[in-house]
Chains A and B, each alone.
Chain A
Amino acid sequence: MKGTPLDRAQTRLSGDRRGILDPLLAPFLAFNAILAYTFLYLPMVILVLFSFSISRYASMWGGFSLEWYVKLFHNPELSQALFNSLLIAAATTLIATVLGTLAALGLERVPDRRRASHYDAALTLPILVPDIVQGIALLLFFVLVFNGLERVLDWRPTLGRLTVIIAHTAFAISYVAVVVRARLSGMQKSFEEAAMDLGANEWEAFWQVTLPLIWPGVLSGGLLAFTLSLDEFVLTFFTSGAGATTLPIQVWSMVKRGVTPEINALSTLMLLTSMTLVTLSVGLQRRR
């Protein structure tokens, strides 16, 4: 039933397949996998398909057309949202990549392992606190700071792109730090030490040895920060006020007005953008 002992020994030696499939279990596992991938990808495929449909109804097929994409590009609300999204994502990427890399480098230098694990826990905390709680917390925090500023300077800032950038950076730092740390842990400290033995000072060793070595990790973390910022909805929802509508916020308000083929087209573009970015980021992480 389970194959000859020789087969099993070979499978084990090849190290490629793990465990022995019970012949009764195998079809069930394959069936479950097919269902799961269909479940994950069918909605996306249908959305993309219908974005090219000429029909005025968002879930009806009426023949191929690029009409909804053309409409999208002539929507002034949307170009403003796109501009906001790109600006916020670019600023977030810049700040989060620098600070996240610094955090990772700093953690690598903490000699005490117990303390290092506490810092690690602090970095993952923003991942464990639900985004809605982070959102309202940031909103309250900004309002309190604004109240203070108004009292002291007689000037009250408003929620907008700047508050969104701060909110995005606060959570993107963690992700960048985790990615860069993974890269650092695979790196030998001896390179940096060798450079310093050969007369480089700490600064030169960093720029000429450490940074080039961790650069793929930094780039990949930066790409991740950019993707996360472009896609982030909940924190933006609470911290953007009326002035900084981003693409996800635009999708939210369009959906609340009703399901339209225009949203299909916009969604398709957003899906393709994040998939491209993620593929790039993963490719960078895997590069030696």
Chain B
Amino acid sequence: MPPALWLGLFAFLPLGTVAAISVMQRGSPITWELTLSNYGRLADPLLLMILARSLWMASVTTGLCLVIGYPLAYFIVQRRTSVRTLLYFFTLVPLWTNSLVLIYAWMVLLRGDGVVDQVARASGWLATHESLNWLYTPGAVIAGLVYWYLPFMVYPIYASLEKLDWRLYEAAQDLGASCLAAFRSVLLPLTWPGVLAGALLVFIPALSNFVVPQFLGGAKVALIGNVIQERFLSQPQDWPLGSALALAMMFLISLAIWAYFKFAHEGDAVG
């Protein structure tokens, strides 16, 4: 079966290669001697700080995407069929356009003397030669990440709302449940799998993204993806350390996937 072979060759085998390189000595680029020292080098305070920051930013991004994405999916699903299809399409378009270009658009907006500064000056909120200096801040990075991954959250939530038997929701309301109570006791448990899938689809790539912090965070707000990328492609190269970092990140991601299955299972028990 050639496709399975292809996937095995170019998707699974390389992961094993990363694991193998992470236990090799640093050289130019690699010296073939077994060592565990790369994992010891991960305990560097700067690296740990960047790792913690990445986790925090990926979590905030996931939370914001959920807070914006759930009501958005709910809004779309309530439109009539023709409008619904159109709105859904417009939510997904950014997924298939070049994210690099979209994030670049945010630089045009946020940079010094950029569009946001000009609007703020024109409205009298900002003095003529002042700047808001929003580019290269943690806020800019989070805005970029939310922008990039919002469609990933809307997509599975929309799919679960679309499949929902709305008579259950109406029955709850007919039986006197308030809007909030009906949401909490009917809507949320039934769309929980969609919420969890969305959270996973946002959290995993947001944790490893290096384009957004590079463009919108600059040197000040580096994330773990930037460090990995630089260890591989910038001088001084350090492939074994980069591989160890990548595996540490994969470990955090598998924790997230484990939590996903745990919570998805508990959702079954409740619903």
Answer yes or no: A134 CB below 8 A from chain B CBs.
Answer: yes
Answer yes or no: B126 CB below 8 A from chain A CBs.
Answer: no
**In the bound complex, do residue B109 and residue A137 qualify as a contact, i.e. CB atoms below 8 Å apart?**
no
Counting contact residues on chain A (CB < 8 A from B), the size range is 35 or more
With CB as the reference atom, state the residue of chain B lying closest to A167.
Answer: B10
Q: Which residues of A contact B14 (CB under 8 A)?
A: 134, 137-138, 140-141
**In the bound complex, do residue B232 and residue A130 qualify as a contact, i.e. CB atoms below 8 Å apart?**
no
**In the bound complex, do residue A20 and residue B173 qualify as a contact, i.e. CB atoms below 8 Å apart?**
yes
Counting contact residues on chain B (CB < 8 A from A), the size range is 35 or more
With CB as the reference atom, state the residue of chain A lying closest to B10.
Answer: A170
User: Which of B29, B91, B166, B173 touches A2 (beta carbons < 8 Å)?
Assistant: B173
Segment touching B, from A150-158, A185-193, A211-219, A274-282:
A274-282
Answer yes or no: A66 CB below 8 A from chain B CBs.
Answer: no
**In the bound complex, do residue A170 and residue B94 qualify as a contact, i.e. CB atoms below 8 Å apart?**
no
**In the bound complex, do residue B74 and residue A59 qualify as a contact, i.e. CB atoms below 8 Å apart?**
no
CA distance A63 to B102 in the complex (A): 23
Q: Which residues of A contact B257 (CB under 8 A)?
A: 128
Bitwise, B8-42 to A at CB < 8 A (1) or not (0) is: 00111111011001000000010000000000000
With CB as the reference atom, state the residue of chain B lying closest to A174.
Answer: B7
Q: Which residues of A contact B75 (CB under 8 A)?
A: 29-30, 32-33
Answer yes or no: B136 CB below 8 A from chain A CBs.
Answer: no
**Chain B: minimal CB distance from A126 (Å):** 5
Within 8 A of B (CB), among A136-173: 136-141, 143-144, 166-167, 169-171, 173
**In the bound complex, do residue A134 and residue B11 qualify as a contact, i.e. CB atoms below 8 Å apart?**
yes
Answer yes or no: A71 CB below 8 A from chain B CBs.
Answer: no
Q: Which residues of A contact B207 (CB under 8 A)?
A: 130
CA distance A32 to B76 in the complex (A): 11
Bitwise, B146-168 to A at CB < 8 A (1) or not (0) is: 01001000000000010010110
**In the bound complex, do residue B100 and residue A248 qualify as a contact, i.e. CB atoms below 8 Å apart?**
yes
CA distance A41 to B242 in the complex (A): 36
User: Which of B105, B164, B209, B246 touches A18 (beta carbons < 8 Å)?
Assistant: B164
The 4 A-B residue pairs with the shortest CB-CB distance in the complex, in nearest-first order: A137-B14, A170-B10, A103-B3, A43-B105
11 A-B contact pairs sorted by A residue (CB < 8 Å): A12-B167, A33-B75, A43-B105, A46-B109, A99-B6, A102-B2, A128-B204, A170-B7, A173-B6, A275-B97, A282-B89
B interface residues, Cβ below 8 angstroms from A:
1-4, 6-7, 10-15, 17-18, 21, 29, 68-69, 71-72, 74-81, 87, 89-91, 93-94, 96-102, 104-109, 111, 113-115, 118, 147, 150, 161, 164, 166-167, 169-170, 173, 179, 204-205, 207-211, 215, 225, 228-229, 232-233, 239, 242-243, 246, 249-250, 253, 257
